[in-house]
């Protein structure tokens, strides 16, 4: 594993990350929330961790925590729908934004520590990486369905997201993936797996959209982003099988295709169905 490998994974992750904010801005929270959460940064992350790992057992250990990590991200996003309802002073939107960001990140780090401990115990109980990943994916799916059941209005953005804010989210995503690959090369697969799903994309999406569009656009995107983001967990589970059997390049293509076809597309149809039903009941 070389520095160039980590840098390549980081750069690719940063480039693909920028598209999510633009998709939500253009298509609204429901549609953009799904389109913007197809597996992206997990692709270079998994490939980079595979290159950094001494064997595929370490890779699977890193991938096993990804669904649970996405569950934490779901909790992180849920805060962005729930917490704004407790702030009624529309003149202090930046203060509100800072408080919500601080609370959400604090909860993410606390949940991350708990998840790491739970997964370590799970391995002590002789659960396999696949079983651990599947349990996390089931819990993530339940949260996504609950948060997407009543979507309501998910308006499109009326203002352009500041280009510097969009660029910053690419930088944050690149740093997160670069750090994850680097940690994996040091021999800490669990930490690498958790770092690979640090909510850089979700955080910068929420902040960028909040600043440019106001709270309603990011709040409307929360449910679809949780459900759509579960495709990352699907990618991780499938990658445990595909990367060892087909190699990094072909395995990544197969894994991404399966995650999109069997998760992202059905989730898109589910979200549209729930949105139509929610709006008709108003």
What digits encode the pLDDT tens for the residues 224-277?
888 888 999 999 999 999 999 999 999 999 999 999 999 998 988 888 888 777
pLDDT confidence tier of residue 216, bands split at 50, 70 and 90: confident
- What is the distance between the alpha carbons of residues 116 and 124, in angstroms, rounded to a whole number? 13
pLDDT of residue 171: 79
Give me the percent of the chain exceeding a pLDDT of 90: 34
Closest by alpha carbon to 29, among 121, 147, 120? 147
Q: 238-246 long-range CB contacts below 8 Å, 24 or more apart?
A: 239/46, 239/59, 239/63, 240/59, 240/60, 240/63, 240/64, 240/129, 240/130, 240/133, 243/46, 243/50, 243/56, 243/59, 244/56, 244/59
Over residues 182-202, the mean pLDDT reads: 78
Over residues 64-73, the mean pLDDT reads: 93
What digits encode the pLDDT tens for the residues 107-146?
999 999 999 999 989 988 889 999 999 999 999 999 999 9
DSSP state of 263: I
pLDDT of residue 12: 67
Angle 82-113-60 from CA coordinates, rounded to 5°: 110
pLDDT confidence tier of residue 8, bands split at 50, 70 and 90: low
Question: Minimum mean pLDDT among 57-71, 121-135, 162-176: which range?
Answer: 162-176
């Amino acid at each position: 594993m070389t520095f160039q490998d980590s840098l390549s994974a980081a750069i690719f992750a940063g480039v693909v990350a920028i598209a999510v904010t633009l998709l939500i801005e253009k298509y609204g929270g429901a549609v953009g929330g799904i389109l913007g959460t197809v597996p992206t940064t997990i692709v270079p992350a998994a490939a980079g961790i595979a290159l950094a790992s001494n064997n595929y057992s370490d890779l699977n250990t890193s991938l096993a925590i990804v669904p649970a990590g996405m569950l934490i991200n779901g909790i992180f996003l849920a805060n962005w729908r729930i917490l704004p309802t407790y702030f009624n002073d529309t003149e202090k939107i930046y203060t509100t934004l800072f408080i919500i960001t601080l609370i959400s990140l604090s909860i993410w780090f606390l949940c991350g520590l708990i998840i790491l401990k739970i997964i370590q115990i799970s391995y002590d109980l002789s659960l396999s990486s696949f079983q651990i990943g599947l349990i996390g994916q089931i819990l993530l799916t339940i949260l996504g369905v609950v948060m997407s059941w009543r979507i309501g209005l998910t308006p499109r953005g009326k203002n352009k997201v500041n280009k510097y804010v969009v660029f910053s989210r690419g930088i944050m995503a690149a740093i997160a993936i670069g750090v994850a690959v680097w940690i994996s090369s040091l021999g800490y697969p669990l930490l690498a797996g958790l770092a690979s799903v640090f909510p850089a994309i979700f955080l910068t999406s929420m902040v960028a959209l909040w600043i440019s569009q106001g709270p309603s656009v990011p709040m409307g995107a929360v449910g679809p982003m949780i459900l759509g983001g579960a495709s990352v967990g699907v990618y991780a589970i499938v990658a445990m099988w595909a990367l060892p059997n087909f190699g990094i390049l072909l395995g990544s293509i197969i894994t991404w295709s399966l995650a999109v076809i069997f998760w992202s597309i059905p989730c898109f149809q589910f979200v549209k169905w729930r949105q139509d039903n929610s709006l008709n009941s108003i």
